[in-house]
Amino acid sequence: MRDVDVHGKRVFVRVDFNVPLDADGHVTDDTRIRASLPTIEYLLDHGAAVILASHLGRPKGKVVESMRLAPAAESLSQRLSVPVQMAPDSIGPEVEATARALAPGQVLLLENLRFHPEEEANDDDFSRRLAGLADRYVDDAFGSAHRAHASTVGVACLLPSSAGLLMQAELDTLGGALDDPERPFIVIIGGAKISSKIAVLQHLLTRADSFLIGGGMANTLLKAHGVDVGASLVEDDKLDVACDFLESAEAAGIPVHLPSDAIVATAVAQEAERKTVQVDETPAGWRIVDIGPQTIRDFRDVIKDAGTILWNGPMGVFEVPAFANGTREVARLVADSHAKSIVGGGDSVAAVEQMGVADRMTHVSTGGGAALEFLEGRVLPGVAVLPDA
Phi, psi of 147 (to 5 degrees): -110, 130
Give the count of alpha carbons within 13 A of 280, CB side only.
Answer: 6
State how far the Cα of 6 lies from the Cα of 217, in Å rounded to an integer.
47
* Nearest 10 degrees: Cα torsion 55, 61, 67, 72: 30
Q: Is 193 a catalytic residue?
A: yes
H helix and E strand count, the chain: 14, 15
- Per the residue annotation, which of 307, 346, 360, 377 is the catalytic one? 346
Q: Is 323 exposed, middle or buried (0-12, 13-18, 19+ CB in 10 A)?
A: buried
- Per the residue annotation, which of 32, 136, 328, 332 is the catalytic one? 32
Q: Is 60 a catalytic residue?
A: no
DSSP state of 115: G
Nearest Cα to 260, choosing from 224, 297, 234?
297
- Per the residue annotation, which of 79, 128, 193, 300 is the catalytic one? 193
Q: Is 92 a catalytic residue?
A: no
**8 A C-beta contact, residue 70 and residue 92:** no
In the chain, beta strands by DSSP E? 10-14, 49-53, 84-86, 107-109, 136-139, 161-163, 185-189, 210-213, 256-257, 261-265, 274-278, 287-291, 308-312, 340-344, 363-364
Q: Is 285 a catalytic residue?
A: no
Catalytic residue IDs: 32, 193, 346, 369
